[in-house]
């Protein structure tokens, strides 16, 4: 498609991406803006990233840019760093050949373990996952190269795989998650041929490194489409490999508190992102894993006879360890998640005058938000507890004093446990002679 037939202008592309494209072009290499950057501009959206492909090898790219660093083993990439802005540059991919064992390798299930085979733009397009991503903006003449009917699929709002869907999913099972994410992000439907194998192949996600799955979860649930992605993943069976503990409980109680809490949490996350409010993985995992935690704590208390607090403390480590087998959660978030869990146990016994000090805790707000979600999901005493705290948190200073005094009527918190007194020696019976 020549320049006069499309709407993309260089003014819509980031200044740093333009610098990279022109330097590669002036150095005698082919250079294209590719994938989401082209796709989103054509759809009237603001691209989040601008990726570049070229026929220059990673080593040749590094020689051209002093601000370049090479990353990755499975896919060798060049990152051109401009302060906080990073332009990712890949070499055009080629087809695998039997003699390319040193530069391409798959496992028994067909997943690519190493893939640094270089080729032409035609070969690179055939190696891409979806037709709507096989779009190339050529800096040499400002034309667009579309492969596999990508431009037509943009118009028909269709997510279609390039090549045989089962083979492509086996090469990289994360493509199943990408299909869901693009469908919700772009308001498109997944073509039936691409959708049909997903449920059967979903268990392949268990083989994906936990660190990579952490990044995919961020893209799925922290981009304003959490609720839609969650529901679609459940329909396709993609949720279970990521959150096996949660999925088990959802299957046991599809309309229970856990289902209500997760749906409400996803919608609240989307709402906060739309309002440009902060969201954190720590709260996300605290809400996601709350009910598996309570179940594990009850089991530990029953088996070992530990107190409720000690049982919860032990369960926290167990639940986090099991979850990290599928999704690697950085310690800076897992530690805060455990803090939010621990504070749930303090809401009931910190009413009254103790509430003034409790609300000053650094993690109080996150724990309070989880309590409100639990109240809506569970009802009963949890809802009453959440209602008390809501009136206290949202009340004025005078109102808080009245609420605290009414709760501490008689000078004692009604929920506190009375201390047992040691029997008086005078009251002790004399031994029989």
The CATH number linked to 61 is 3.30.460.10
Q: Is 171 a domain residue? A: yes
Q: Which 3-state string (H, E, C) describes 182-206?
A: HHHHCCCEECHHHHCCHHHHHHHHH
Structural domain count of the chain: 2
pLDDT the model gives residue 112: 46
Q: Is there a single domain that holds both residue 227 and residue 83?
A: no
Closest CA to 174 of 220, 135, 133: 220
- The enclosing H or E element of 86 equals strand 85-91
Please tell me which residue in 49, 138, 247, 310 is annotated as part of the active site.
49
pLDDT the model gives residue 318: 96
pLDDT the model gives residue 427: 46
Q: Which residues on adjacent β-strands are paired with residue 51? A: 34, 88
Q: Is there a single domain that holds both residue 9 and residue 108?
A: yes
Both tokens of 130, joined, read 């979806």
Please tell me which residue in 51, 115, 153, 339 is annotated as part of the active site.
51
Q: Which residues on adjacent β-strands are paired with residue 300? A: none
Distance of CA 405 to the CA centre of its chain: 43
pLDDT greater at residue 368 or residue 348 = 368
Q: Is there a single domain that holds both residue 201 and residue 128?
A: no
pLDDT greater at residue 425 or residue 8 = 8
Q: Is there a single domain that holds both residue 94 and residue 112?
A: yes
Both tokens of 316, joined, read 């926290």
Q: What is the pLDDT of residues 67-124, one digit of tens each?
A: 999 998 767 899 999 999 999 999 998 876 544 444 445 555 555 444 567 889 999 9
pLDDT the model gives residue 211: 94
Q: Is 157 left (phi over 0), alpha (psi -120 to 50) or beta?
A: left
Q: Is there a single domain that holds both residue 116 and residue 214?
A: no
Is 51 labeled as catalytic in the residue annotation? yes
Q: Is 270 exposed, middle or buried (0-12, 13-18, 19+ CB in 10 A)?
A: buried
Q: Which domain holds residue 100?
A: 1-156
pLDDT the model gives residue 432: 54
Q: Is 392 exposed, middle or buried (0-12, 13-18, 19+ CB in 10 A)?
A: buried
- Contact 290/257 with Cβ under 8 angstroms? no
Please tell me which residue in 40, 115, 124, 129 is annotated as part of the active site.
129
Q: Is 104 a domain residue? A: yes
Is 298 labeled as catalytic in the residue annotation? no
Q: Is 52 a domain residue? A: yes
The CA–CA distances, whole Å, from 194 to 40, 160, 201 equal 21, 6, 12
Q: What is the pLDDT of residues 12-24, one digit of tens each?
A: 999 999 999 999 9
Tell me: pLDDT of 378 over 60.
Answer: yes
Please calculate the CA angle 212-213-215 and round it to the nearest 5 degrees. 70
Is 129 labeled as catalytic in the residue annotation? yes
């Amino acid at each position: 498609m020549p320049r006069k037939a499309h709407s993309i202008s260089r003014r819509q592309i980031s200044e740093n991406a333009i610098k990279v494209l022109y330097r590669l072009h002036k150095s005698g290499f082919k250079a294209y803006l590719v994938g989401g950057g082209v796709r989103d501009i054509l759809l009237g959206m603001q691209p989040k990233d601008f990726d570049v492909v070229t026929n220059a090898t990673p080593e040749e790219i590094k020689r051209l840019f002093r601000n370049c660093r090479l990353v990755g083993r499975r896919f060798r990439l060049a990152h051109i760093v401009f302060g906080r802005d990073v332009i990712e540059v890949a070499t055009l991919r080629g087809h695998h050949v039997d003699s390319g064992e040193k530069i391409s390798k798959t496992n028994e299930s067909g997943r690519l373990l190493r893939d640094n085979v270089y080729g032409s733009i035609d070969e690179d397009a055939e190696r891409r996952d979806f037709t709507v991503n096989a779009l190339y903006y050529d800096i040499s003449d400002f034309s667009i190269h579309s492969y596999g009917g990508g431009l037509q699929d943009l118009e028909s709002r269709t997510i279609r795989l390039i090549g045989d869907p089962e083979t492509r999913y086996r090469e990289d099972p994360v493509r199943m998650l990408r299909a869901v994410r693009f469908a919700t992000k772009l308001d498109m439907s997944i073509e039936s041929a691409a959708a049909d194998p997903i449920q059967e192949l979903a268990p392949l996600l268990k083989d994906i490194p936990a660190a990579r799955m952490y990044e995919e979860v961020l893209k799925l649930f922290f981009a304003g489409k959490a609720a839609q992605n969650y529901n679609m993943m459940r329909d396709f069976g993609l949720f279970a490999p990521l959150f096996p503990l949660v999925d088990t409980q959802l299957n046991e109680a599809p309309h229970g508190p856990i289902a209500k809490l997760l749906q409400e949490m996803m919608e609240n996350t989307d709402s906060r992102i739309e309002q440009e409010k902060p969201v954190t993985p720590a709260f996300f995992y605290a809400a996601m894993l709350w009910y598996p935690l309570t179940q594990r704590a009850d089991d530990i208390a029953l088996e070992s006879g530990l107190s409720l607090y000690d049982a919860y403390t032990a369960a926290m480590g167990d639940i986090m360890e099991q979850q990290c087998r599928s999704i690697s959660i950085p310690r800076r978030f897992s530690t805060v998640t455990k803090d939010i869990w621990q504070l749930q146990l303090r809401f009931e016994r910190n009413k009254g005058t103790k509430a003034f000090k409790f609300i000053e805790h650094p993690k109080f707000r996150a724990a309070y938000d989880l309590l409100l979600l639990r109240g809506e999901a569970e009802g009963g005493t949890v809802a009453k507890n959440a209602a008390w705290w809501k009136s206290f948190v949202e009340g004025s200073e005078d109102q808080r004093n009245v609420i605290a005094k009414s709760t501490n009527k008689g000078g004692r918190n009604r929920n506190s446990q009375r201390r047992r007194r040691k029997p008086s020696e005078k009251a002790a019976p004399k031994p029989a002679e």
